[in-house]
A and B are shown apart, each in its own frame.
Chain A
Amino acid sequence: MSDTPIDRVAKATPPSVAAKIRGLSDRAIAWLFVLPTIFLLLAVNIFPLIWTINLSFTNFRANRPNREVDYIGLRNYERILTDEDIWLTMQATAHFLFWTILLQVLIGFTLAWLINRKFKGNDLWTTLIVLPMMLSPAVVGNFWTFLYQPQIGLFNYGISFLTGIDPSSFQMIGDVKLAPWSIVIVDTWMWTPFVMLICLAGLRSIPDYIYEAAEIDRASQWRQFWTITVPMVLPFLMLAVLFRGIENFKMFDLVVQLTGGGPGSVTELTSINLKREAFEKWRTGYASAYAIILFVTVFGLASIYVKALNKVKER
C-alpha cells in the first residue's frame, strides 16, 4: 500500500523534532498554539492596562521625564470624582448617548421596517440611506459646520423655510442650548443607517411561516408586530444599541470637528476632556485615573447589558 501525503510528511520530519512532538500531550500542543496569542494580548492589552492603573496613583507627566514621580495614593481619583467640570462633561456625554441611541433606534427600526417591504427601487433606497455611514467622521463634522453656518448654512435655511424665522437668528453650534442637539442630529444622521442595517438583518431572519400561522390565527397586523416582529428583532436591536453605545461613549472626531467641545464646554464629551488632560495638559497620572474610571464604567455597563442581551436571546 502506497504512503498517504500525511505519512510522507511524517517520514520527512527529522526524527528529533518528531520525537519531541510525539512526546507532548494534546494539552501541551494546544498551549503551544495559544501562547503567541496570549503573549500578544498580554503585551498589547493587559500590560498597558496594568501600567495605566499604576500610573493613576502617581503625579507622572509624560512631558517631564526628568521630574521625580511621586505616588499620591487616591488623590487623582478623589480630584476627578469631586471635580464639578468633569461631572458636567459626564452629563454632556450622557445626554449625547441617550438621545443619539433613542433616535437612531426609532428611526433606524422604522427605516428597516419600511425597506423590508418589497417595493420598486428598494435597493436604490437602501444604498442611498447607508451613504452617510460610509463617510469619514472628520469630513462629516467639517461639512456640517458649513450646513449649520447661520449666514449661509443650508440647515438654517431649511428651518427658516419650514418655520419662517430668520436663518441668522439662531446658531446651532454657537448657542449653549442648541449645540448639544447639533451633535445629536449629526450623529443620528450618520449612524442611523447602521442601526437600520442590523434591524433589517433581524427582520429578514424572521421566517415567513410564522406570519402565515399568525394570519391563519387571524392575528391583526398590530398584534403580529408586537408579538412576532419586535421580540424576534429585539436581540438584533440590542446588539445595535450595544455597538452604538460603546462607539458614542468614546465619540471624539465628529464632535471635535463640529464644535470643538464648545461653546464653552457644553459639548465637551468625556473623550475630548480626557484627550485634553492627557495630551494637551500632559497630566498623565491624572488622565490615567480618568481613563480607568471610564473603563470601569463602560466595562460594568456593557457587562450588565450583555447579560441582559443573552437572557433575551435565550427566550
Chain B
Amino acid sequence: MKTAKLLAATAFMAASGLSVSQAQADELTLCWAAWDPANALVELSKEFEAQSGHTMKFEFVPWPNFADRMLNELNSGGKLCDLLIGDSQWIGGGAENGHYVKLNDFFDKEGISMDDFAPATVYAYSTWPKGTPNYYALPAMGDANGWFYRKDWFAMPEIQEAFKAEHGRDLAPPKTQMELLEVAKFFQGREIDGQKRYGAAIFTERGSEGITMGATSAMYPFGFKYEMTPGKYDMEGAVNSADAVAGLEFYKELYKTSTPPGYTDSYMEQSLDAFKSGQVAMAMNWFAFFPGLYADPDTGGDKIGFFVNPGQLKEASTLGGQGISVVAYSDKQDAALEYIKWFAQPSVQKKWWDLGGYSCHVSVLNDPNFADSAPFAADFLLAMDGVMDFWQEPAYAELLLAMQKRLHDYVVADQGTAKEALDKLIEDWTEVFEDEGKL
C-alpha cells in the first residue's frame, strides 16, 4: 500500500512538472520602463510565479533614463536583466551585437507562432533584419502615439457656438492634422471656467527621444519617410521631400501657436501633467497611458475623449511599444524562456489587456468585443494599422540624437528653415551609415 501511494505521488509530481520547476526555481529579473503598464505586468506575473515556482524581480527605470541605463547594461554584458522589454528601435543592436537570444528554435519547439500576433507588431518588435523571419523578441506591448481631449469642454454650448462661428463647422475631435491645428488654436488662450487654457500639449523634449516622437506624428501623415527604397538608405528626396518639410513646418506652427508657455522640453510626464491640471484642451501621448487617464477621478471618465493621430495625406501614427527578449548574458535563460512561453498564451494575453497592458495577440485584438472593451480600444486598432517607426538600426542611438538636435534646433530654438534642418539631418545620417559601412 505504501509503495502504491509513493508511486502515485511520484507520478503526480512528474505529471504536474512541480518537482522540476521547484528544483530549478530561479529569481528572474525583468527590466522595463517605469510606467503604468509595468505595474500591470507585476500583477500579471504573480500568476507565473504561482505556476512555475520562479520568483520575479522587477527593475523599472524612468523613461528619460531608460535607454541610457539599459543600453549601457547590455553593452557592458551586464547580468542585471534576464528578461528585457526593450524599445522597438533596439532590436537591430540587440540582434547584431549579440545582446538578445534568437528565439526561432525556441518558438518552433514550443509551438509559438508569430502568426498569432498582429503582423505590424511582429515586424516592429521582433524581427531583424526587418521583416525577415528572424525573431529576437515576442511582441509584448503594442503602442502608438495618440491623442486625448477634454470631452466636457468640447461639449460646452458656448464653446460649440464660438467654434462654429469661427470655423463654420461643429467642434469635434479632429480628423486631419490641419483640423487639429485649427482646434488647438481655437482653445489657445481661451478662458474656460474662469481660467486661461491652452490648445495642445505636444512632445518637445530634447534629451532622449521626445521631439522626434512628437514631430514624426505630424510628419508621417504629411508623407515623411526615411528612404526612397526600403533598405537602400537613399534618404535624399524622402527625408527632405516637400511633404516632409511641410510636416515639420506644421509641427513648428503647432508648437508656436498652441502650446502652454514654457513648453520647451516636454515629454510624456509633462503632457500628462498639462492635461490633468486642466491647462490644455488636447494632448498627445502613448496609448499605454490611456487606461490610467480614463480612470483619473478629476479629468477621466466622462470628461475625457480619445482619438487616433489624425491623418493628412495619409493615415499614420508613430509607433511605440516593445517586445520582450531574453538577455544573452543571463545565467537563467531557461527560466526566462519559460516566462516567454507562459506570456505567449492567449489566456495570459487576454488578462494582460484586462489589466491595462496592450496585447498584440490576434486572439485579443480580433475578438469582436475588443473595440468596445475600452473607450480607446477602437482607436488603438486604427493606430496599429498605420504605425511607422524610427530607424531600428544598430546605430539607432546616433541616428536618434541627430534627429533630436536638428528638430529641436528648428522647432524650439528657431534656427534655420525646415528644409535646412532636414538637409542637415541627411548629412548626419549619411555620416552614420558611412561609418557603419552601409553607404
State the CA gap A173–B265 with chains docked (Å). Answer: 9
A62 contacts B75, C-beta separation under 8 Å: yes
Closest to A282 in B: B397
Q: How far is the CA of A281 from the CA of B398 in the complex (A)?
A: 5
Please report the C-alpha to C-alpha distance between residue A287 and residue B428 in the assembled complex, in whole angstroms.
16
8 Å CB interface, A158-182 against B: 168, 171, 173-174, 176
Known: A66-B97, A265-B405. Is A283-B265 also a contact (CB below 8 A)?
no
When the two chains form their complex, are residues A264 and B413 in contact, meaning their CB atoms are under 8 A apart? yes
**A85 contact set on B, CB distance < 8 A:** 405
Chain A min CB distance to B69 (Å): 11
Contact of A280 with B262 at beta-carbon distance under 8 Å, contacts A64-B97, A261-B206 already known: no
- Contact B97 A149, beta carbon cutoff 8 Å: no
Pick the contact of B264: A66, A151, A262, A276 (CB < 8 A).
A262
Contacts of B262 in A (CB 8 A): 148-151, 168, 171, 173-174
Determine if B397 and A260 form an interchain contact, defined as CB atoms under 8 angstroms apart. no
In-complex Cβ contact of A262 among B260, B394, B410, B413 (8 A): B413
Interchain CA distance A276-B398 in the complex, whole Å: 9
B206: A residues at CB distance < 8 A: 260-264
With beta carbons under 8 angstroms apart, the residue of B93, B97, B408 that contacts A264 is: B408
B171 proximal to A (CB < 8 A): no
B408 touches A168 (CB 8 A): no
Cβ of B98: which chain A residues have Cβ within 8 Å of it? 66
- B412 near A63 with CB under 8 A, answer no
B401: A residues at CB distance < 8 A:
276, 280-281
Contacts of A280 in B (CB 8 A): 68, 397, 401
Max chain A C-beta neighbours (<10 A), residue from B262, B397, B401, B408: B262
B414 CB–A CB distance under 8 Å: yes
Instruction: List residues of chain A with CB within 8 A of the CB of B263.
Output: 174
- Smallest Cβ distance from B286 to chain A, in angstroms? 21
> Is there a chain B Cβ closer than 8 Å to A270's Cβ?
no
- Chain B residues near A266: list those with CB within 8 A: 413
Would you call A192 an interface residue if the criterion is a C-beta within 8 Å of the partner chain's C-beta atoms? Answer: no
Most chain A CB atoms below 10 A, which of B71, B264, B397: B264
> A168-B261, A263-B408 given as contacts; is B413 within 8 A of A279 (CB)?
no
B435 is an interface residue with CB less than 8 A from chain A = yes
- In the assembled complex, the CB of B436 is this many whole angstroms from the nearest CB of chain A, namely 10
Within 8 A of B (CB), among A117-164: 148-151
The residues of B that contact A282 with a CB separation of less than 8 Å are 75, 397-398
Chain A positions within 8 Å of B265 at CB level = 173-174, 259-260, 262-263
B72 within 8 A of A: yes
With the chains together, A264 CA to B206 CA distance in Å?
A: 7
Q: Which chain A residues border B398 with CB–CB below 8 Å?
A: 281-283
Since A151-B261, A259-B265 are in contact, a sample of 20 more A-B pairs with Cβ atoms closer than 8 Å, ordered by chain A residue number, is: A63-B93, A64-B97, A66-B98, A151-B260, A168-B261, A168-B262, A171-B262, A173-B264, A173-B265, A174-B262, A174-B263, A260-B207, A261-B207, A262-B408, A262-B413, A263-B412, A265-B405, A279-B68, A279-B72, A282-B397
- Measuring CB to CB, which residues of chain A are less than 8 angstroms from any residue of chain B? 59, 62-64, 66, 85, 148-151, 168, 171, 173-174, 176, 259-266, 276, 279-283
